[in-house]
Copies of this chain bind each other. A is one copy, B any other.
Amino acid sequence: MEVYLNGQFQGLNKAFISVTDRGFIFGDGIYEVIRVVQGSLFREKDHLERLKEGLEGIGIHPGEAKFEHLPEIYRHLLKRNDMMEDEAVIYIQITRGASWPRTHTYPEPAVSPTVYINTSTFTPYTKLHSKGAKTITENDVRWTRCNLKTTQLLPNILSRERAKKAGADNVILIRDGVITESPNANIFAVKNGILYTYPAINYILSGITRKVTFEIAGQLQLQAIEKPISEHDIHNLDELFLTGSTTDIMPITMVNDIKISNGKPGPVTRKIQQVYNEMLYEQNRDNHESE
């Protein structure tokens, strides 16, 4: 499999970065994941916008030309890796670059950011989409700039690993008594036909699929409100689901030992799943054909 690294297409097993790369030394970088269905990129523009905002947010400047070159690179990579026919994900990571000696402050003069892109085949989590996910709650110990999609992912890793050890599929993060999100997806609750989710502030990464979910709610004439869900209300919710670029719309049926409603995915989640799948698989194809 080939990847792209700093101007070169090469085998994954030949793609190496310097130990002085600030991505390695400091986690000083931003990343993005884009979903691909039969060569069509879902919400590509939104992902590129968020990538740009993240880079600006931490003062990494790859330059306009380099940034605008990205779509050409990952499309080329999808083709080279023969990933145009099935499902795939594109992973883009941009770090502040390699610099010696190690200094917390930005390198002076500025160094060229490291650009790493890979593509991989993807299999949707259809079983979890169908039967629902089991989750555990954990304190949200992350920093307070979760709105930036940085490679500072150790808290997310530790949470997901604990969930795995507990036999759960994902984690619901709790900050100040309310649900923020999961380590890799946003969370919506349904109560009396109304959707609730944490506001798009600095305590969550405002997902593209979260945005799409608001659009779908509009289409379905469902009210969707940015309002935190209290930890204490979990046992009273009608439905609960995750949204994310690789998670899709995934019902949550268990939170610790609490069954959500009757322990089966609810009707609102099902409707949203259905419309989402149409957008991802059907409209997406239309876009592709009209390109």
Residues on A close to B: CB < 8 A?
Answer: 3, 5, 12-13, 15-21, 23-28, 31, 58-59, 91, 93, 95, 100-102, 104-106, 116, 118, 120, 139, 141-145, 150-158, 160-161, 164, 183-184
User: Are B27 and A154 neighbours in the complex by a CB distance under 8 Å?
Assistant: yes
List of B residues within 8 angstroms of A184 by Cβ: 104
In the assembled complex, the Cα of A59 lies from the Cα of B139 at a distance in Å of 19
In the assembled complex, the Cα of A23 lies from the Cα of B18 at a distance in Å of 12
* Interchain CB contact (< 8 A) of A28 among B19, B21, B120, B153: B153
Name, among A13, A95, A158, the residue most crowded by chain B CB atoms within 10 Å (CB to CB).
Answer: A158
* Interchain CB contact (< 8 A) of A151 among B3, B27, B161: B27
In the assembled complex, the Cα of A18 lies from the Cα of B139 at a distance in Å of 32
Closest to A121 in B: B101
In the assembled complex, the Cα of A53 lies from the Cα of B120 at a distance in Å of 35
In the assembled complex, the Cα of A152 lies from the Cα of B23 at a distance in Å of 10
User: Are B58 and A154 neighbours in the complex by a CB distance under 8 Å?
Assistant: yes
List of B residues within 8 angstroms of A31 by Cβ: 25
In the assembled complex, the Cα of A102 lies from the Cα of B161 at a distance in Å of 14
List of B residues within 8 angstroms of A144 by Cβ: 139, 141
User: Are A27 and B152 neighbours in the complex by a CB distance under 8 Å?
Assistant: yes
User: Are A105 and B28 neighbours in the complex by a CB distance under 8 Å?
Assistant: no
User: Are A153 and B58 neighbours in the complex by a CB distance under 8 Å?
Assistant: no
In the assembled complex, the Cα of A272 lies from the Cα of B170 at a distance in Å of 50
User: Are B161 and A105 neighbours in the complex by a CB distance under 8 Å?
Assistant: yes
User: Are A104 and B152 neighbours in the complex by a CB distance under 8 Å?
Assistant: no
User: Are A19 and B15 neighbours in the complex by a CB distance under 8 Å?
Assistant: yes
Known: A116-B19, A141-B145. A27 touches B161 (CB 8 A): no
Known: A24-B24, A141-B145, A143-B141. A157 touches B104 (CB 8 A): yes
Known: A102-B120, A104-B161. 16 other contacts (CB 8 A): A5-B19, A12-B100, A13-B18, A15-B18, A16-B16, A19-B118, A25-B31, A25-B93, A26-B151, A91-B102, A104-B157, A104-B184, A105-B161, A145-B155, A152-B152, A152-B154
User: Are A120 and B101 neighbours in the complex by a CB distance under 8 Å?
Assistant: yes
Closest to A118 in B: B19
Name, among A19, A93, A143, the residue most crowded by chain B CB atoms within 10 Å (CB to CB).
Answer: A19
* Interchain CB contact (< 8 A) of A17 among B5, B12, B24: B24
User: Are A106 and B161 neighbours in the complex by a CB distance under 8 Å?
Assistant: yes
